[in-house]
Chain A
Amino acid sequence: MTAVYETSPTPSTQSIVTELDALESESIFVFREVAAEFERPVILFSGGKDSIVMLHLARKAFAPAPVPFTLLHVDTGHNFQEVLDYRDATVAALGLRLEVAKVEDYLADGRLRERSDGTRNQLQTIPLLDAINGHRFDAVFGGGRRDEERARAKERIYSLRDEFGQWDPRNQRPELWSLYNGKHKPGEHVRVFPLSNWTELDIWNYIEREQIPLPSIYYAHERDVFERDGMLLAVGPYSQPRSGETVSSRLVRYRTVGDMSCTGAVASTAASPAEVVIEVAASEITERGATRADDRASEAAMEDRKREGYF
């Protein structure tokens, strides 16, 4: 495994422990409900920190038995190698089953075309929906958190999708107490968000507490980057500086992991979960605001993508 932090013995305060315990129990409850009430659940697993925490919680929910779910990765082809390595090492170590839906297969045979800006996050929707239909997955776990974005803040923990994978934000089922209603008709499926109530800071406190290994790009490292739209983009096969953009080697880390061509790094010296916790707590910019060009497209960019079936 690509374990790349030094275990930090810093004791967490009592209040944080109990808050994390409450969030952990709530998420484990959701995993068990889905395992009991659905036929073919799947966990969306990208190798990003939220999906890693999700898998960790799923393992806790069913221990000592193995996780009773398949994993699905929707692969943009614009990957960080460290993340793919982490994904494959995890799957191998835990004996899990991984399905990969590749955007590049769709580009190769013309079912999808490259966007003019060359980014591929938005191209993931069709391969995702095809994979859900093809494998007849009826519950799809996503690592989305309500603190990430305005449209996500409105989504239920169980979010019903119609036959076209569409989300109708104005027609969501009321979700009361801890009674999750997973009833759906054939062809429909339910997106399940067990991390709904976690914040970015909760995730990092939990990673620290549970000593969960992450891909190395989440911690400070030297990288050749250039600045675009106020973000630091890595020089790589999918993102090259345009004229006027100068490349420099900076100490950076990633707050989110997505399509490499439009996911920005942030300047950072944080080399461990404890240091990231401090950095996140002091941050003046949200996670997606700092790192995701695709969310800046419009006032409701995420809502529009979600309506079409995006994560």
Chain B
Amino acid sequence: MSTLLRLATAGSVDDGKSTLVGRLLHDCKAILADQIAHVQTVSEARGGDFDFALLTDGLRAEREQGITIDVAYRYFATDKRSFILADCPGHVQYTRNTVTGASTADVVIILVDARHGVLEQTRRHLAVAGLLRVPHVVLAVNKIDLVGYDEAVFKGIGKDVSQLADQLGIADVQAIPVSALVGDNVVERSPETAWYDGPTLLEYLENATGRDDISARPLRFPVQYVIRPQTDDQYRDYRGYTGTVASGTVSVGDEVIVLPAGRRTSVSGIDRAVISATSTAVAERPSAVAGEAVTVRLADDLDVARGSVIVAADSSPGTRRELLATVCWLSDRPLTVGARLLIKHTTTTAQAIVTKINGALDLDTLGVIDATGLDLNDIGKVQLKIAAPLAADPYSSNNITGSFLLIDAHDGWTLAAGMIDDEEGELL
């Protein structure tokens, strides 16, 4: 629907990720004169050549250490579409930031240094992309100039990665030979890689499709906030349920079920704001699709509040108080069985207990091994008991009603990103 494409980058330390991003922005003319002057001044002060990485590494510590620490968001556009790019750090310590970037990405660009091939971080980033079901993966084989533009090197890495991708269930991987430093195949096609007939990185990004059509799936509408103006005008008795359509389409007259109560009713109105400098009103519309923030009114006067989810009557997920899920553990504090946490799932926050840890992903074999706990950056499979019923779907069918956070109840820290497993409960 939208021409906005969200991408995330991932790669190991020193494989030139920030340089690639800087090159992409620069060659798309998204870097302006004062930013270039700034990088030039700093580069010269350090006695080096123009350092593209300085365009994105914004924090003091990043510049001092020459590494990317946190996700940087960048914005650029071509004549074809606009891009939001999450530039994620490569260091294993910051894998949680790669998970963050990948959670909203349509495309993840995984960098590999042509001289080094697939590393543990490459496997980890591929696993994250597969787990989060990022629709497209680009394998950017970088520093291709440093291996003499050798086709065999490129093909070999491409083969290694497509084997991993098959194991991880990643359907779409596009390998591209690039040199971020020189600019080969980033925006401009390189004369040095005549053996490569695929798209340049930018050509690929301009033509990639977004997440598959979530509007065609069953309706899920988590209620965020109830609007009751109680003003002394035409809206005195107005009662609307605000939210963003998570999946499907909602139309006036639709038969729906409100979870967790399970009450059946129908949609009596869908409103969007109509405001001027002085007046605030709403106008009715016939329907709304996934991604749109609207206000829904219902035919019957039911108990509907934040945490309720309005779903298609003929395709209700029901509710559950126990979940089997795959989690990316994002915290230094290890997870152990019996831990009491908070779960945040759509607009519900509830208490949860980890009743079982069913295993962890072994990055070498991509198989599941026994585990009694999970440490920072581990990917594991857990069983949760929840204090409130959740209207949840498997992540594979809905990335909004299928995802959740685990939160430390004491200090509020986000501990884990969770994805609800399919009924069969396979790991990846």
| Chain A contact residues, CB within 8 Å of chain B | 1, 3, 15, 18-19, 21-26, 28-29, 32-33, 35-36, 56, 59-66, 90, 93-94, 146-147, 149-151, 153-154, 160, 169-170, 172-179, 181, 183-185, 196-197, 199, 201, 213, 283-286, 289-290, 299-300, 303-304
Contacts and interface: CB of A to CB of B under 8 A. Distances in A.
B417 interface: yes
B412 A185 contact: yes
B61 interface: yes
B241 to A, nearest CB: 11
Contacts of B347: 33, 36
B100 A175 contact: yes
A151 B34 contact: no
A174 B417 contact: yes
Given A18-B2, A289-B35, A299-B42, A176 B405 contact: yes
Interface string B403-414: 111010001111
Contacts of B242: 32, 61-62
B407 A154 contact: no
A64 B293 contact: no
A65 B227 CA distance: 7
A304 to B, nearest CB: 8
A64 B272 CA distance: 9
B35 A181 contact: no
B355 interface: no
B60 to A, nearest CB: 5
Interface stretch (B65-73, B107-115, B134-142, B169-177): B65-73
A63 B280 contact: yes
Given A64-B235, A146-B75, A183-B407, A36 B278 contact: no
B70 A169 contact: yes
B224 interface: yes
Interface size class for chain B? 35 or more
Interface string B149-190: 000000000000000000000000000000000000000000
B357 to A, nearest CB: 21
A154 B34 contact: no
15 contacts: A18-B2, A21-B2, A22-B2, A25-B244, A29-B224, A36-B306, A59-B273, A64-B231, A65-B231, A93-B277, A169-B70, A170-B70, A197-B84, A199-B75, A303-B59
Contact of A64 (B38, B96, B229, B244): B229
Contacts of A66: 229, 231, 280
Q: Ordered nearest first, which 6 A-B pairs have the shortest CB separation?
A: A183-B412, A150-B58, A289-B34, A63-B273, A65-B229, A60-B273
A21 B96 CA distance: 29
Contacts of A18: 1-4
Contacts of B99: 174, 176
Given A177-B104, A185-B412, A36 B225 contact: yes
Contacts of B3: 15, 18-19
B291 A177 contact: no
B70 A177 contact: no
